[in-house]
Amino acid sequence: MMKLFDWLARNLIRKGILEVVDAAGERHRYGADGVDGPRVRIRFTDRATPRRAAFNPSLELGEAYMDGRLRIEEGDILSFLDLVGRNTHWDDDDAVRLNLWRPWRHLSWLDAWNWQRRSRRNVAHHYDLSDRLYSLFLDDDLQYSCGYFVDADADLDEAQAAKKAHIASKLALQSGQQVLDIGCGWGGLALYLHKIADVDVLGITLSKAQLAVARERAAAAGVAHRVRFELLDYRDVRGRFDRIVSVGMFEHVGPPHYRRFFQCCRELLQPEGVMLLHTIGRADGPAPTDRWLARYIFPGGYVPALSQIAPAIENARLWTTDIEVLRLHYAHTLMHWYQRTVASRAAIIDLYDERFFRMWQFYLAGAIVAFRHDAHLNFQIQLTRRRETLPITRDYMA
């Protein structure tokens, strides 16, 4: 049962060392000493898992780790996935990576039809988990998106504060403006924008759990009359806004709905309005969502390539006034989340169970590898309805 996995590992592992102990106790060694990369030892507890993993590594390895059929004996799950990532590095575009991942590209739209009822169900799957879970690994403001590391050694709270300031500068806010926050999370960005710019904000979410926390925070700050939160789909919002911001929500829209999303944003934006979209993206063109991630973490989730976003923006007759690519910021952010998750292992098991903890650990470890070695990055795209709306140089973004 190890033959297929053995063939795959021998062709794959060239950087670092992978030792595999099979169900019979036999040891297999891949890689070469003296070559840069981690050293990891794993054990398969049954005979079927290696064969299944060779056919569908992304799904089967994740499930095997969750179930305890794959155990890490030297290193941890991040070390193991990082070893795989170093050997399938997107920049190198090696043959093994092409053979493993490109055949799945034709499936890229199958799970991306996020009509309204399905969108609510998908959001609830992930964001209506225990508030306690998120408080264990996020920053104090519960920012669940890529931070902005002015300094790579910054702590998580500093990076998330810098992210909010960076976004605010791109919105070019003025006192008294009306702001729409699409996918407002637990309300931190909306409350921040009101505080620093004296604007009124409507935050919308499809998560009942997030909505409750956001409303509590606004009430506690005494600003609920100016920072409102509603359980609303972006397709149901009415009115006009001077500014629109959306951070970490576009990944849940899906390519079939991109044109509708930007058309809605244009209709909601005042003629002199400004929009800032912050989203995870891909540098390697359209590709399917990882099958394990779609099944266990983000059903309906889809990470777009810029080539998929741009046509929908053009169709909505919006000006793309600025694009910034954040290449490594999310890798730094996720590393903080991973370390906090590992440190909170006992508390997470108390909330759920050991299998859930391993699922969450695998999710964050895999995400780190995606931003370190695969083609994942973040886009910040600034949009307007009119070319004259913003200054013609970028100095105001400082």
Domains of the chain: which residue ranges? 3-87, 116-397
What's the CA gap between 14 and 396, in Å, rounded? 47
What's the CA gap between 339 and 332, in Å, rounded? 11
Do 14 and 83 contact (CB within 8 A), yes or no? no
Burial of 303 (0-12, 13-18, 19+ CB in 10 A): buried
Which of 154, 173, 334, 144 lies closest to 241 in space, CA to CA? 173
> What integer pLDDT is reported at residue 116 of this predicted model?
60
Burial of 26 (0-12, 13-18, 19+ CB in 10 A): exposed
Token output for 85: 């990532």
> What integer pLDDT is reported at residue 103 of this predicted model?
47
Taking only the tens of pLDDT, the chain with its 398 residues reads: 688 999 999 999 998 999 999 999 999 999 977 667 789 999 999 999 999 999 889 899 999 999 999 999 999 999 999 999 999 888 765 555 555 554 444 454 555 555 565 566 776 667 778 899 999 999 999 999 999 999 999 999 999 999 999 999 999 999 999 999 999 999 999 999 999 999 999 999 999 999 999 999 999 999 999 999 999 999 999 999 999 999 999 999 999 999 999 999 999 999 999 999 999 999 999 998 999 999 999 999 999 999 999 999 999 999 999 999 999 999 999 999 999 999 999 999 999 999 999 999 999 999 999 999 999 999 999 999 999 999 999 999 98
What's the CA gap between 164 and 124, in Å, rounded? 25
Specify the pTM. 0.93
DSSP H or E segment with residue 358:
helix 354-372
What's the CA gap between 82 and 38, in Å, rounded? 8
Rg (CA), the chain: 22
* 103 DSSP 8-state letter: G
Token output for 336: 């903080």
Do 43 and 21 contact (CB within 8 A), yes or no? yes
Classify domain 116-397 by CATH architecture. Answer: 3-Layer(aba) Sandwich (3.40)
